[in-house]
Chain A
Amino acid sequence: MLMQLTISGISQGAIYALIALSLTVVYRSTTIVNFGHGDFVMAGAFLSYVLVVLLGVAFIPAAMLAVVAMFLLGLAFSRGLIRPIRGGPHIGFALMCISAGYVFRGIARIVWGREVLPMPRVFEIEPIFIGDLIITGDAVFIISITAIMLVVFFGVLALTDIGKMVQAVYQSARGAQLIGINVDRFNDFTWGIGAALGAIGGILIAPISLLHPDLGASFLIKGFAAMTLGGFGSLYGAVLGALILGLSEQYAGAYINSALIDITAYLVIVLVLFLRPHGLFGRKTVVKV
């Protein structure tokens, strides 16, 4: 029982990790929290649905196309809607993100209405039996894809010049500009990466949950809960926080009350911010004047 819950917790946590990570990437380089990110995730999932079900593209190329399309959409969003309001108050960015999210959701609802769409199964991966323990094919698929994405992501950050640029922009946008980094274009790129990572999360969740236009809202909260838990802005923290969240949802749902699965994330946010505002792994920030 405990092991079984642990497996499903990790597989849920893997998806939250992708979402929390994509939020964090954008937050670190632009200091903008994408409050519409859940809808970016939803849009990615719907794009892959359109490609697979309506246009008959095979899953792998369809998923890749959807991710690339979401990358371009994120880039265009940053270029077209975030850059022009750069000088304004910070609240403007959040409102821009929220509104873009509503636009996506509105479009999805106009096309699909109240329909709840099943995404066809990708592969029938045989479940793995270890004693009493059953690891479903979906869990294997989600965990392995996420693991690969994480290795690539952190590998790029640690080993390449792009990683150094990310670090430079995070520490000081102005300093980065001085050494010749085009911060604006870099930020557009980051938005693209954020949207693409979120889309991967959406595409992975689509086959095991159902697709509907309101899919994003709950994922946004899960992403936030994971980020808050891990320390806002910390990349490793986001991943760890996501895993902890995924596990605690499953444990709380099984051992306390199944209705708790829905609100664990909210409770986590409230508790963490009250008890340890800088998260489990974050550093305390000090206001400097």
Chain B
Amino acid sequence: MMPTASQLRLRTILFWAVPLLLLALPLSTNSYVQFIANSIVIFSLVALGFNFVIGNLGQLAFANTALFGLGAYGSAILVNTFGLPWILSIPLAGLAGAAGGFLASAAALRGIRLYYLAIITLAFGELMRWLYVHGKSVTGGTDGMGVPAQSIFGVSLTDDHAKFYVFLVVAVLLFKSTLNLLRSRIGRSVMAVRENEVATASLGIPTARIIVFAFMWSGFVVGCAGALFALHTSYVFPESFGMLHLIVSFAMVLVGGLGSVIGSVLGAAALTILPEYLRSFPGMEELFFGLIVIAVLLALPDGLASLLRKLSPIFVERYYRE
């Protein structure tokens, strides 16, 4: 069922109304709730970027964690070592993520796909983690590195309530640009590669370059999220970008819905709130996220977004005309 013209208008209104209403959120939260809300904003960006590769492009990838780490470390190093204002480090962290995305996927230009590509991205992720630990002079090694307090336009960003506004603006920008990108010729090529790469190539679309581009965009979004994360926790260390983060991002994308932008938000929200109390038991988080993904694969393969779509055609995400 396709949304009608009036439903499409309603959808546009909703897209802008949700962040506008969220502007009021810090008025009603204590700092713990606000901290979690900030985490949700950041992880919805992580899920958005990851989903772009595994959902929209349909390639298995493990580099997400590495790209997130690149953004976070990139931002922390720029702020700490080079004294750049944090706000300027966001796009640069995004570029670092995009460069990481390029490196992780460049093998696609050599005709490498699916499992091979996945294994390369896995190796890339592990190499990055090795670098964080062993590049002690730049990254602080296992001790990690702190991010000093920041302010923009004279407003201090030490408080979670204040950070939220910046995070929200960045998130809206990235969500809007990703949606626009998906609707563009490039975005549709990305999804065409998922459906059938050979057929896509036969239309004259350079599929290998499309794959690399998708990884780079994913890296940009996730890298920006990394910069937000660096300020959010005001500390970066290798463990934040380890194996646990990997299953968390897989679970967010799957629970939300593969290839669904709304799903990325839903997945991030659901899985940031739920496991908060598991954190103190070692192993529980891994068990929980593992079981969640298994359950979703068996029972709800298209994620929470598919339930929304059943509810109303407003939530149907389709980037082409019939």
Contacts and interface: CB of A to CB of B under 8 A. Distances in A.
Interface of A: 33, 35, 81, 84-85, 88-92, 94-96, 98-103, 105-111, 113-114, 213-214, 217, 221, 224, 228, 232, 259, 262-263, 265-266, 269-270, 273-274, 277, 287, 289
Given A99-B291, A266-B123, A287 B243 contact: no
Contacts of B114: 90
The 6 A-B residue pairs whose C-beta atoms are closest, nearest first, are: A109-B283, A106-B287, A106-B286, A102-B290, A110-B283, A103-B290
Contact of A277 (B111, B123, B130, B250): B111
B291 A103 contact: yes
Given A102-B247, A289-B198, A221 B123 contact: yes
Given A110-B282, A113-B283, A224-B119, A85 B293 contact: no
Interface string B104-123: 00010011101110111011
Given A102-B289, A113-B282, A232-B116, A92 B297 contact: yes
Interface of B: 54, 58, 60, 107, 110-112, 114-116, 118-120, 122-124, 126-127, 130, 134, 198, 243, 247, 250, 254, 258, 281-291, 293-294, 297-298, 301
B134 A259 contact: yes
B101 to A, nearest CB: 15
A247 B118 CA distance: 25
Contacts of A270: 107, 120, 123-124, 127
Main secondary structure on A side of the interface with B: helix
Given A274-B107, A287-B198, 5 more contacts: A33-B115, A95-B250, A110-B287, A270-B120, A277-B112
B120 to A, nearest CB: 6
A263 B110 CA distance: 23
Contacts of A259: 134
A269 B117 CA distance: 10
Contacts of B116: 228, 232, 273, 277
A274 B290 CA distance: 32
Contacts of A110: 281-284, 287
Residue among A85, A94, A213 with most chain B CB within 10 A: A94
Q: Which of B111, B119, B126, B301 has the most CB of A within 10 A?
A: B119
A107 B123 CA distance: 25
A92 B286 contact: no
Given A103-B291, A106-B285, A110-B282, A221 B258 contact: no
B210 to A, nearest CB: 16
Interface centre among A102, A109, A114, A270 (most CB of B within 10 A): A102
Contacts of B54: 91
A12 B120 CA distance: 22
A259 B281 CA distance: 32
Nearest to A112: B283
A96 B254 CA distance: 11
B192 to A, nearest CB: 15
A90 B301 CA distance: 12
Which of the listed residues B107, B130, B134, B247 has the most CB atoms from chain A within 10 Å of its own CB? B247
A161 to B, nearest CB: 30
A263 B284 CA distance: 29
B283 A108 contact: yes
B198 A85 contact: no
A103 B123 contact: no
A94 B60 contact: yes
Given A85-B297, A273-B112, A228 B258 contact: no
Nearest to A91: B60
Nearest to A85: B297
Contacts of B284: 106, 110
Nearest to A263: B130
Nearest to B196: A289
